[in-house]
Amino acid sequence: MRRRILVSTLTAVLLAVGILVVPLLLLVHRYVVDGGRLWAAGLIVVLAVVAVVVAMVVAARRARETVRPLAELAADAARLAAGDLGPTGRRYVAEELDDLADALDSAAIRLGELVRRERQLAADVSHQLRSRLTALSMRLEEVAAVADPAVRAEAEAALDQVDRMVHIVDELLDQARTERAHNAVEIDMAEQLSALRTDWDDAFRLSGRQLHLDAPDGDLGPGLRARATPGHVAQVLGVLIENALQHGAGAVTVAARAHGEHVVVEVRDEGVGVPDPLVPLVFDRGVSGGDGTGIGLSVAGALVEADSGRLELRSAHPAVFAVYLPRISAD
């Protein structure tokens, strides 16, 4: 893109200069007396070269300025494709670019909302089916406990059917989960955490607060690795950090560690924590975040679940959020 702008500018400038210089040189040849001819021709050529150089410098600068927002938008689109569903809120002077940025932001918000709804539906279906099957199976077991052997046999047969239905539900949910997590790849947690430093340094400096990162490497060999969709982890940690900046106080600590077959990342601050009446509601839609700059805790939770993980409020006072992700173990 940048190169194309440069080439077209160069072509235009060379044409313009050529159109001016060739007739000028002919005029010089025709009308200037012998003594000044070489001198005048030289001056014209030097001026032409200066004009081309100046035009190229200006063109290069303009090309950079024109391309920068496009490159940013392309990067935003790539992040969106990789599963980072946070609207950027980025705006430019050019109307067309703002339209594009708007479209990307609303696509991100809608995708996040879709993921959240899909997770909610899967959780509801699973919960409802399993609860009803539990109630059914317990009543059948009561029937099976009566003395009459014929009744008992029938109840046992019905219980077998319940077991098969449970198996089917499990399989369907498993299948859905595998499809959801198809973008998941191996993620190096130390890298993720150090990227937070770059992303959040300015915000912390502005608010006069501190960000502590704690990723153990020593005893974990090649490093702590999780399986997750690229973009999701940074996104979710971003929501938690922003939440701590907005509602918490003091230093914010992000710590990752191995926990059996999972990786747990905790985000905590030194404030008073989540008010008690709000505790059961923090992951409900519309309760936190989602004000246009972030995706909110409800979508963050859905993103983690889409990668077969969980987002939990581990402690309310002070607020400690824990992200559980499947761990890729070194053994």
Partner 1 sequence: MATVLLAEDDTAIAQPLARALEREGYEVVVRTDGVSALQAALSGNVDLLVLDLGLPRADGLEVARRLRAAGSALPVLMLTARRDEVDFVVGLDAGADDYVGKPFRLAELLARVRALLRRRYSADLAASGVRLELASHRAYCDGEEVHLTNKEYALLRLLLEHAGDVVTRQDAAEHVWGDPEMAGSKTLDMHISWLRRKLGDPAQAPRKLVTVRGVGFRFERG
- The contact set with partner 1 (CB under 8 A) reads 123, 126-127, 130-139, 141-142, 162, 166, 170, 177, 259-262, 279-280, 308-310, 312, 314-315, 322, 324, 326, 329, 331
Quick one: 7 or 281, whose CB is closer to partner 1?
Answer: 281
Quick one: 54 or 281, whose CB is closer to partner 1?
Answer: 281
What are the φ/ψ torsions at residue 313 (nearest 5 degrees)?
Answer: -90, 100
The nearest distance, CB 10 to partner 1, in angstroms, is: 59
Three-class SS of residue 37?
helix
The nearest distance, CB 310 to partner 1, in angstroms, is: 5
Three-class SS of residue 215?
coil
Quick one: 215 or 263, whose CB is closer to partner 1?
Answer: 263
* Residue with token string 């926990």: 259
**Where are the alpha helices (H) located in 181-276, listed in sequence order?**
189-207, 232-247
The nearest distance, CB 207 to partner 1, in angstroms, is: 29
- Is the bond preceding residue 318 a cis peptide, omega within 30 degrees? yes
The nearest distance, CB 122 to partner 1, in angstroms, is: 11
The nearest distance, CB 314 to partner 1, in angstroms, is: 7
Q: Are 70 and 27 in contact (CB under 8 A)?
A: no
The nearest distance, CB 92 to partner 1, in angstroms, is: 42
The nearest distance, CB 318 to partner 1, in angstroms, is: 13
Q: Of 272, 267, 265, 228, nearest to 249 (Cα)?
A: 272
Q: Are 315 and 244 in contact (CB under 8 A)?
A: no
Quick one: 28 or 169, whose CB is closer to partner 1?
Answer: 169
The nearest distance, CB 278 to partner 1, in angstroms, is: 12
**Where are the alpha helices (H) located in 274-316, listed in sequence order?**
296-306
Query: Which residues on neighbouring strands pair with residue 187, listed in sequence order?
Result: 226
Query: Which token pair is 298?
Result: 């409800």
What are the φ/ψ torsions at residue 111 (nearest 5 degrees)?
Answer: -65, -45
DSSP 8-state secondary structure symbol assigned to residue 257: E
- Pairing of β 225-228 and β 252-259: unpaired
| Cα Rg, the chain, nearest whole Å | 32
Please state, in angstroms and rounded to a whole number, the distance separating the CA atoms of residues 288 and 254. Answer: 20
Quick one: 291 or 331, whose CB is closer to partner 1?
Answer: 331
